[in-house]
Amino acid sequence: MTRRSFTLAAAAAIALAGATAAHAQGFERAPTFDAGRVPGVRASGPNYVISNPVTSDGFMRIYTLRTSYGDFTVIGDALMRTRLVELNALVELDKLTDSESFNKALADAGIAPIKYAGDLITKPGETISNTFSGIGSLFGQVGSGMNNMGKTQDDTMQSLLGVTKKRRELAAHLGVDPYTDFPPLATKMTQLSQAAASGGLVVTGAMMAIPGVGGIVVANVATTAKVTGLARDLTAAQLMDLNRKKLGEMGVSPEIGETLLTNTNFTPLDVTAIVASLEIMSSVQNRGEFVARAASVHRHDAAYFMRKHAELLGDYHSRTGALTGFVTFGGYPFNTTRTGGVLGILPIDALSWTENTARSMRDIVNQSRNAGFAGKAEMRITGTATALAKQQMQGLGWTVTDNYK
């Protein structure tokens, strides 16, 4: 046997031993996926390609997104779909800013041509460091968001000059978050909105002539028009004031409400979507439990997960009226139902029975039992669950329904 063959055989034996040990303990390895087979995700486009395989951590898929602007880690199907909308918006914005007619309009207005800020381009080899999402830490732990307190994303002077208004109008036209944390789009929208504020109707007209979707993409159909209008018409500070008032009307404590409002892992649109979703659940008790958990997150992927969870709940309750309250198990909010059961509707991509997943799910089940909930317990997830995950959850008394829409 050659040295190389021996090395490969040894590596295979070690891998097999690890897999056998995991199976003996009732666990499995988190699966990997082909980017081209994930529903709602295009593996490549004019300015990006998703690397294969797509990994997962027991809860969420973890993408390596290679773009014309650098490489990025994207955690979760929902956030990946949002990034693809943003990349599509960048295609149109790049066409605009590269056109001779637009740059002539800028020159006539005394404005320099718009180019992407090269120093923000991610350096190869320094980009992909996350191997786990922040979702696992949402279950089984009670975090603190007090260290995340900050200011609104709007700049006061730019608000006075009309820049932020132009940015919100452009974002609504493109169907993206005005306060996106995606660096290339955030930079491009800032440059364009500054140009529109300085260049007047000629620049604004050119911006609004590009193809758009005519409304910010929000998952909860019951609140889409409302949230889009608020994000377009109000500044970040105004949104904060409005959301603070609505949280108070829901009975959320001022301290918890303020922690959510100033948690910079959420954009103002994220918080507005959460508040709007909770607001239409007026008959559901203890909404403050959801707000408290959301306020405590310390990563953007976890914040986005909380937003999507709120939108799923708001949409479900507006259609069924089936939810009666929030109750926390394993450090995470679930819902009680009119039939006396417990229900979790969660934006989980790929539930597998890893050691971490098993620990988190057992914490949830044990706490629900200790709280005396003996009715039907169900978890509905937007993605898929492995056969082992379903089997193990069934053994714990919970039904897992996947591909929830």
The domain limits of the chain are 1-30, 31-131+161-208, 235-401
Q: pLDDT value at position 131?
A: 60
Q: pTM, whole model, 2 decimals?
A: 0.84
Q: Calculate the average pLDDT of the chain.
A: 84
Q: What is the C-alpha to C-alpha distance for residues 257 and 234, in angstroms, rounded to an integer?
A: 19
* Alpha-carbon span 291 to 303, nearest angstrom: 11
Per-residue confidence (pLDDT) for residue 101, from 0 to 100: 80
Please name which of 370, 365, 358, 330 lies closest in space to residue 140, comparing C-alpha atoms. Answer: 330
Which amino acid, 18?
A: G
Burial of 165: CB neighbours in 10 Å, binned 0-12, 13-18, 19+: middle
Looking at residue 152, its pLDDT comes to 57
Neighbours of 11 (CB within 10 A): 10
Which among 232, 239, 204, 205 is positioned nearest to 216, based on CA atoms? 232
Higher pLDDT, 370 or 108: 370
Indicate the DSSP class of residue 146.
G
Torsion of CA 228, 230, 231, 233, to 10 degrees: 110
Which residue in this structure is represented by tokens 């490549």?
Answer: 44
pLDDT at res. 146: 37
Single-letter amino acid code for the residue at 123: K
pLDDT value at residue 145: 32
Q: Give yes or no for residue 198 having a pLDDT over 50.
A: yes
* Residue 103 CB neighbours (<10 A): 16
Per the model's pLDDT, the better-predicted residue between 274 and 118 turns out to be: 274
pLDDT at 6 over 70: no
Q: Where are the alpha helices (DSSP H) in 29-182?
A: 77-98, 100-108, 156-161, 163-174
Distance CA 380, CA 393 (A): 12
Nearest to 139 by CA among 260, 267, 309: 309
- Residue 39 DSSP class: T
- In this predicted model, which residue has the larger pLDDT, 122 or 222? 222
Cα R_g (the chain), whole angstroms:
23
- Residue 119: phi, psi to the nearest 5? -70, -10
Band (pLDDT 50/70/90 cuts) for residue 219 is low
Going by pLDDT thresholds of 50, 70 and 90, the confidence category of residue 141 is very low
pLDDT tens track for 289-334: 999 999 999 999 999 999 999 999 999 999 999 999 999 999 999 9
Closest to 35 (Cα-Cα) out of 65, 13, 14: 65
